[in-house]
Amino acid sequence: MGKQKVIIIGAGITGLFSAYYLLQEGFEVTLIDKGNLTDNCSSGNAGMIVPSHFIPLAAPGMISKGIKWMFNSRSPFYVKPSLNPELLRWGIQFWKHANAKHLAVSAEPLRDFHLLSKNLYNNLTSEGTIEFGLKHKGILMLYKNAEVGEEEIHVAKQAKDLGLDVDILDAAQVQELEPYVTLDVAGAVHYKCDAHLYPNQLVQNLITYLKERGVGILTDSAITSIEIKNNHINAVHTAQQKHEADLFVLTGGAWLPGLAKRAGLDIPLMPGKGYSFMHQPGDDQIVHPALLLEAKVAVTPMNGQVRFGGTMEIAPVNNKINMKRVEGIWNAIPQYYRNYKVAMPQPDQIWYGFRPCSPDGLPYLGYTKKIENLIVAGGHGMMGVSLAPATGKMVAQLAARQQTLMDISLFSPDRFA
């Protein structure tokens, strides 16, 4: 018998890592993408690997914050008010899950998922096949406001109870960790368990690695229809061609619901738009990645530069750059790094991407009840890079009908159907 053929629909970081591990399992793999592989969410993000993010986006307190922020165009979290039925449904599910019970159910599985992924990233680095600038400096949660600090220290204690390596630092202690800049903060939590990488390099090197080993990568090829007979996908179609395979993997990022619908599946998800830009530092080096907590801005040193990223705008995909949102990120920088001068980026220096946000803040991973030869992998929201290797590895295990690295029943793609 020849090799089993797998087609992966969507070549962001989730699709690329699925291809990587499917190849290792001996499958013949083809990736099909509607874009050019750089115009998705997986290159310009903050590159953080985050076991610290064991609290899903749908968490206690998010509803009141969301409502407060909704009317401020510079705010970090924004749900565009609209009667769009998908958004309304998403909002109701989000609201239903923003509670302590959901957090209690999700925290340990999310922690394990991130830690498995971090291990796989470590393995990749020690094997030396793919370079992607992995650094183990942790992430600093910087805060200015005492109330926010208290909340963060409460989370840090939960993190410690979950066995994560975390330090609670006062202003002087955190300043010692950043000797080249003057911090203007009340304190920080240092998640030493976290790490970071250079996502642009990761994506490029994964693509090269896969191509060199015979993985087919078709770009500018949007899947327009899915041919199903007796709960089995026979083929997918682009405008140009029909593509047949034994098994299909849906990794369409923020476009997952539309693709799922073509397969007769109901997978709720909204795009969470965010922006980033790069800064070339002088002597004022920032050593550690950080999250500026009140502003919800991510700061990541990478490739000799610093990337600033943020905002979460829950709305259908749109390609306009909202300069007010970018200004919101830019304004926050000197509030935490005093006298740190960053030029306001011009529109052509600004990157944006759409986080694939499920309403309960948990990924989708697994087979569905309706179709026997389809695996869904997506909905990782703000953690898609962090969770990508473990997702890809488990896609390959599912494909090979092996036991997965961890119990994935919580992540069932059927959970809202």
Ligand X SMILES: Cc1cc2nc3c(=O)[nH]c(=O)nc-3n(C[C@H](O)[C@H](O)[C@H](O)COP(=O)(O)OP(=O)(O)OC[C@H]3O[C@@H](n4cnc5c(N)ncnc54)[C@H](O)[C@@H]3O)c2cc1C
Residues of the shown chain interacting with ligand X in the complex, contacts defined by CB under 6 A: 9-15, 32-35, 40-42, 45-48, 222-223, 251-255, 259, 274, 276, 298, 309, 353, 355-356, 378, 380-386
Nearer to ligand X, 39 or 151 (CB): 39
Q: Is the CB of residue 11 less than 8 Å from the CB of residue 203? A: no
Q: Are strands 270-279 and 305-314 parallel, antiparallel or unpaired?
A: antiparallel
Task: Name the helix (H) or strand (E) containing 305.
Answer: strand 305-314
CA R_g for the chain: 21
Strands 216-218 and 28-32: parallel
Residue reference for tokens 């919580």: 410
Q: Which is nearer to ligand X, 182 or 241 (CB)?
A: 241
| Closest CB to ligand X among residues 171, 323 | 323
Beta carbon nearer to ligand X, 358 or 404: 358
Taking CA atoms, 214 is separated from 154, 206, 221, 244, 322, in Å, by: 49, 13, 19, 17, 40
The least distance separating ligand X from the CB of residue 30, rounded to whole angstroms, comes to 12
Q: Please report how close the Cβ of residue 257 comes to ligand X at its closest, in angstroms.
A: 10
Nearer to ligand X, 169 or 299 (CB): 299
Burial, 414: exposed, middle or buried (Cβ in 10 Å; 0-12, 13-18, 19+)?
Answer: middle
Q: Which is nearer to ligand X, 40 or 404 (CB)?
A: 40
The CB-of-275 to ligand X minimum distance in angstroms stands at: 6
Q: What angle do CA 270, 19, 265 make, to 5 degrees?
A: 40
Q: How near is the Cβ of 18 to ligand X at its closest, in Å?
A: 9
Q: CB-based contacts of 73: which residues, under 8 Å, 6+ apart?
A: 322, 324, 325, 328
Q: Of 64 and 318, which has the nearer Cβ to ligand X?
A: 318
Q: How far is the CB of 99 from ligand X (least distance, A)?
A: 24
Burial 73-94 (b: 16+ CB within 10 A, else e): ebbbbbbeeeeeeebeebbebb
Rank residues 62 and 383 by Cβ distance to ligand X and give the closer one: 383
CB-based contact 35:412 (threshold 8 Å): no
Nearer to ligand X, 42 or 373 (CB): 42
Query: What is the identity of the amino acid at 138?
Result: G
Q: How far is the CB of 283 from ligand X (least distance, A)?
A: 26
Under a CB-based contact definition with an 8 Å cutoff, are residues 265 and 368 in contact?
yes
Give me 185's structure tokens. Answer: 């903060």
CA distance 160 to 52: 10
Three-state SS for 22? helix
Min CB(279)–ligand X separation in Å: 15
Cβ 37 to ligand X shortest distance, Å: 6
